[in-house]
Structures are given as structure tokens and as C-alpha cells.
Amino acid sequence: MTKDSILSTATKRIETLFNDATDEQISDLENELMLLDRQDSSFLYNRSMEIMNTVVDLKELMMTYSCAMKEIRVKLETLNAEYELGHQRNPINSIYTRLKRLASIMEKLERKGIPFSLENIENNVNDVAGLRVICQYMDDIYIIADALKKQGNIELVSEKDYIANPKPNGYRSLHLIIKVPVYFSDRVKNMNVEVQVRTIAMDFWATLEHQLKYRRELVDSEAIAAQLKECSDIITATDFRMLAIRQRIEANSPELTKEDILFEKMKKVDLPLG
């Protein structure tokens, strides 16, 4: 392969390195660039190596965010299992995770007028790693959030209660930015993770509102926004009514004895016979 063909291939592949580049792609490109005479086309060589180093560092950063997200998910699943054993019901219905794509990260930095760098990502984009926790009832949101905040190695960075103070469009959810340590073989790195906690009804509304908001052609936008706000109010009222019904059922149920509670817990335990 000639130098020109290597340079052409390298240039094309450099353009796509930021978009989900695999380790194999990075390694192959590095081998091709090493074949170049560094005295020839040195600018392209140096720029290529600079970009590759950034891509490798970015992949490591995103891996770290992914590990932090998994750490939080395990904590939430543990709390849910503990609550099921102790209270015979699950406060968490489902958990969804997502890593922000590079394009979205860069757009957010641009909106803030902040140059792109790995350091600026960590310091200025708190929702690179995110979890959406869907709860059964309104009070479960605060039960789970409070239990998570009490974890020994969790640091609360910020909290926004859009349930007590909904957004003007009707959006409701509890947003937490928490810092969690990720343990490597030679270091510990603290990472910010966003956790959104909401009910099934709140998530239903937010999902549909998001889909409608990003349609290209929106006719009668003010009327539609008013209808969405009305739906949000109805959904919230339903959430409160369902919580009240559950609490009424619990209040009118016969009080369990210690033996009853133990028996209910034993039904949740699946022990091997041998």
C-alpha cells in the first residue's frame, strides 16, 4: 500500500472515528499511520494521532460513565428487592439506562458556549449517564430517592423536584444528580449520573409529549400545548387517587401478626432443597 493510499484511507476513517469507533478500527488506523514516514505529511500524521488519542480517551470516559450507571442500577435493584422482601411489594416497576451520544454532548456544550474537551464534558454535562426509574405510586418516588441518597458512597450534587414544582408544560419528575465512585485497579474516579424518578403515568405523559414536541410540522401549537398540560393535570390527579386507594386498602386491612409477616417473607425466599 502506498503512502498516498494510506493517507487517503486514514483521512476518511478519521472523519468517522468519533461515531462509535471500535477498538479494532482505532488499532488498524494506528498501524497504517505508523507505516508513514514521519518527515512526510507530518501535519496529517500529527493531527491523526491527536484525534486518535482523543477518541481513545473519549471511549475510556464513556466506559467510565457506563460503569457508574451500572453501579447505580445495582443499588436500585437491591433496594427494590429489599423492599419486596420486607413489604411484599415492589416500589420500582422498571429501570431504563442511556448514555448520551457524542453529538448530543457537543450540542449541549455549544449551547452553553463551552469548547469541546473531555474535561469540559465532565465538569459541565451532568446527564451523560442517565437512569429513568419508573415507580408504581407517587410515594414510592421519594422512598426510592431518599434510600438512594442515604447510600454511603453516594454524594448528592443537585435535586430538582418537578413533581412539587412541575414545569409550565406539565412535565413532572424528580431529578437527581448524584456522584458515585467507579473503582479501577489503580484509581477511583467519581462520576456524575442523572437519575430521573417518576410514576408510570408520568412516564407515559413525558414519552408522548417528547414525541409530539419533536414533530417537524406542528399546527395550532398553543392549543396542543394547552391540551398536553390538561392531560398532565388529569394524570397527576389519577396518580394521587391511586395512591389514596392503596393507602385506604392498607389502612382497612387486618394488622398482620409477627407470624403472618414471617410467613409472607418466607414465601419470597426460594431456598434450594439440596
Q: How confident is the model at residue 39 (pLDDT cuts 50, 70, 90)?
A: very low
Spans of all domains in the chain:
3-40, 69-268
Q: How confident is the model at residue 49 (pLDDT cuts 50, 70, 90)?
A: low
- The segment with the largest mean pLDDT, out of 13-27, 82-96, 99-113, 139-153, is 139-153
Per the annotation, the verdict on 77 as an active-site residue is: no
Q: How confident is the model at residue 252 (pLDDT cuts 50, 70, 90)?
A: confident
Q: How confident is the model at residue 56 (pLDDT cuts 50, 70, 90)?
A: confident
Compute the average pLDDT of residues 54-78: 91
Mean pLDDT of the chain: 81
Residue 14 confidence (pLDDT) above 50: no
pLDDT in tens, 124-157: 999 999 999 999 999 999 999 999 999 989 999 9
| Grid cell locating 255 | 394488622
Least confident of 2-6, 119-123, 251-255: 2-6
For 186-212, letters b (16+ CB in 10 Å) and e give eeeeebbbbbbbbbebbbebbeebeee
Residue-level length of the chain: 274
pLDDT in tens, 160-170: 999 999 999 99
For 63-93, letters b (16+ CB in 10 Å) and e give ebbbbbbbbbbebbeebbeebeeeeeeebbe
Residue 21 confidence (pLDDT) above 60: no
> Domain 69-268 is of which CATH architecture?
2-Layer Sandwich (3.30)
Burial class of 269 by CB neighbour count within 10 A (0 to 12, 13 to 18, 19+): exposed
Least confident of 3-17, 71-85, 183-197, 198-212: 3-17
In this prediction, residue 116 carries a pLDDT of: 84
Which of the residues 194, 209, 230, 250 is marked catalytic? 194
pLDDT in tens, 185-235: 889 999 999 999 999 999 999 998 887 776 656 667 778 888 889 999 999
Alpha helix locations (H) across 112-177? Answer: 118-124, 138-149
